[in-house]
Amino acid sequence: MKVVVLGTRGVPDVPGGVETHCQALYPRLVALGHEVVLVTRKPYIADPGVERYKGIRLKHLFAPRRKSLEAIVHTFLGVCFAWRESPDILHVHAVGPALLIPFARLLGLRVVMTNHGPDYDRQKWGKLASFILRLGEKVGGRFANEVIVISEVIAEIVRRRCGRDSHLIYNGVQIPEIATATDTLDRQGIRPGGYILAVARFVPEKGLHDLVEAFDKMESDYHLVIAGDSDHEDEYSLKLKATCRNNSKIVLTGYITGEDLHQVYSHAAVFVLPSYHEGLPISLLEALSYGLVPLVSDIPANVEVGLDGRYYFRCGDVEDLTDKLTMLLASGDGPGRQDEFRAFVRKKYNWDVIAGQTGDVYKLAAGNRGG
């Protein structure tokens, strides 16, 4: 089956939850016999001359570097490209690009939509952008031949706003070998086991400002390492970086991938995700796959992962975050729980199973000629 993919900035190693999802999923679908063409956004691709990744054909298309226009312009161009490719399935990720699913259907394309969560709840969007994202969620959910969701929370949104059932297919995670090398840490001046880790984009809904404030209140020998950056530099990201520079124990790595990120995950003491909004948090699943002790906000998407209650704090409550983080660091909980956390994600979030489930949805969408 031939599949064209839209709604991701690209692969490989482009930061973002949808991007991580696609990088893991589509090579497995290729291995199952599908032909996959993934449409990327040129500004995010380090080497536009690379046209293949693990069996996926990459098509690099123009996208303006303005957050208000980037997704919609790129998706329009991508739908036109897909129409010329005549795929069996057009797979659209996220509610912003889903706004053009009715256009794709008018062109005769069979469409599967994956709803990764209510992006309109992100604090970076103004009223008009939030309205457009809500509209994308609604029309995409109604006009797609089949809809995939990554959590029960999103499934209920689709039932309520789009009047239909969906296919619940979780995000997945690979179980890595724990790194023994520490050269990345050495360059940053941090010791293995001596730091708290956060992995996130510098946008308000990730709650990094709460984590930095909580860390400033703590008295400990630990460092705080934040792996991430801003796609579009703005007042929030500039202020966050300035605040971090005032504390010598906060290390900003910027966007890192590959061996650097592998080492940073492998040697952390605690992983913190203070988000106000998530679909299903891939960074949390990745942290658990390394056996890291988690501390996450109690938003519905995080609660759905099903961790023990002591690993949650009240979202936006800096005092609760400070207290829980101090307690976890003092407990020495990590080494005894590592195998348990890894087994938990291995069982529930298996990418090979997810690829098979996605292929089954493709068959439904391709055969659903009346939809």
- Residue 160 in this model has a pLDDT that exceeds 90: yes
State which of 120-129, 277-286, 305-314 shows the largest mean pLDDT.
305-314
- Segment 51-73 shows an average pLDDT of 93
For residue 123, what pLDDT band results from cuts at 50, 70 and 90? low
108-122, 238-252, 267-281, 328-342: least confidently modelled range: 328-342
For residue 370, what pLDDT band results from cuts at 50, 70 and 90? very low
Residue 281 lies in a domain: yes
| CATH number for the domain harbouring residue 203 | 3.40.50.2000
CA distances from 52 to 38, 226, 351, 353 (A): 10, 31, 21, 24
CA distances from 42 to 19, 27, 84, 91, 103 (A): 14, 20, 19, 19, 23
Say what the pLDDT of residue 311 is: 96
Say what the pLDDT of residue 120 is: 63
Say what the pLDDT of residue 361 is: 98
**Residue 336 and residue 303: Cα distance in Å, rounded?**
22
Say what the pLDDT of residue 334 is: 63
12-21, 118-127, 134-143: least confidently modelled range: 118-127
**Under 8 Å CB-to-CB from 354, ≥6 apart: which residues?**
25, 28, 169, 170, 171, 172
- Segment 48-65 shows an average pLDDT of 96
165 and 283 share a domain?
no
60 and 167 share a domain?
yes
pLDDT tens per residue across span 216-230: 999 889 999 999 999
129 and 212 share a domain?
no
241 and 362 share a domain?
no
Residue 327 lies in a domain: yes
- Residue 119 in this model has a pLDDT that exceeds 70: no
156 and 229 share a domain?
no
Say what the pLDDT of residue 264 is: 98
Give me the percent of the chain exceeding a pLDDT of 90.
83
Helix (H, G, I), strand (E, B) or coil at 169: coil
The residue ranking higher by pLDDT, 348 or 332, is 348
11 and 137 share a domain?
yes
Residue 228 lies in a domain: yes
Residue numbers of the domain that contains 44:
2-172+350-367
Say what the pLDDT of residue 332 is: 74
136 and 194 share a domain?
no
- Residue 371 in this model has a pLDDT that exceeds 60: no
The residue ranking higher by pLDDT, 259 or 280, is 259
- Given a contact cutoff of 8 angstroms between Cβ atoms, the answer to whether 270 and 287 are in contact is no
127 and 271 share a domain?
no
Residue 177 lies in a domain: no
- Count of the separate structural domains present in the chain: 2
For residue 335, what pLDDT band results from cuts at 50, 70 and 90? low
- Residue 348 in this model has a pLDDT that exceeds 60: yes
Residue 178 lies in a domain: no
Say what the pLDDT of residue 280 is: 81
213 and 115 share a domain?
no
For residue 56, what are the β-bridge partners? Answer: 53
% helix / strand / coil in the chain, to the nearest 5?
50, 15, 35
Say what the pLDDT of residue 245 is: 94
Say what the pLDDT of residue 68 is: 79
304 and 355 share a domain?
no
201 and 248 share a domain?
yes
pLDDT tens per residue across span 184-202: 999 999 999 999 999 999 9
End-to-end C-alpha distance for the chain, whole angstroms: 19
Number of Cβ atoms within 10 Å of the Cβ of 71: 27
The pLDDT mean for the chain works out to: 93
Residue 76 lies in a domain: yes
149 and 218 share a domain?
no
pLDDT tens per residue across span 300-330: 999 999 999 999 999 999 999 999 999 999 9
